[in-house]
Amino acid sequence: MVSGIGQTSGRPVPSDFAEYYNPHYGFSILYPNNLTVAEHNEGGGAITVTFENIGQKTVEGFQIFIVPFIGDKITDARFKQDIPSGVRKNLKNIKVDGATGASFYSTDGILGDTAEVWFIHGGYLFEANTFKEYDTWLSGILSSWKFL
């Protein structure tokens, strides 16, 4: 696995943003430059990339879980594997740089209510999530997503 931290695709980046580019997983995303990025190897070709700003009283951020995936559809069984609560509210079909996926609200035992965006591309399942109150913010960030 190749780290995406400190790499660049060469695309233009606004002054208040930074780029996370990971050639191994084949994508680039622009994110607010006040966030710190960390990669966490999950084994089996999976990774979690966290983007966060932990302030004195608040936590702002999101994460992207990437795992090898065979198929072109996210089944209920796969959903329940990754979201044990089984909560999937306000389900909508979406596209992220042409990749078909879904956005929804869920519940996490530690984080509470979350906003989720899941999509499949190039043999990987991408799961982006944040706190529910940041759903519009995350949507704006995901609009910068580019598969390369």
> Tokens 């069984």 sit at which residue?
77
| Residue 56 pLDDT | 65
What is the token pair recorded at 46?
């999976």
Contact between residue 145 and residue 29 where contact means Cβ atoms under 8 Å apart: yes
pTM for the whole structure: 0.92
Give residue-wise pLDDT tens across range 105-114. Answer: 999 888 889 9
Domain segments of the chain as ranges:
17-147
| Residue 3 pLDDT | 81
Give residue-wise pLDDT tens across range 106-142. Answer: 998 888 899 999 999 999 999 999 999 999 999 999 9
Domain 17-147 has CATH 3.40.640.10: no
d(CA 122, CA 64): 16
Give residue-wise pLDDT tens across range 22-38. Answer: 999 999 999 999 999 99
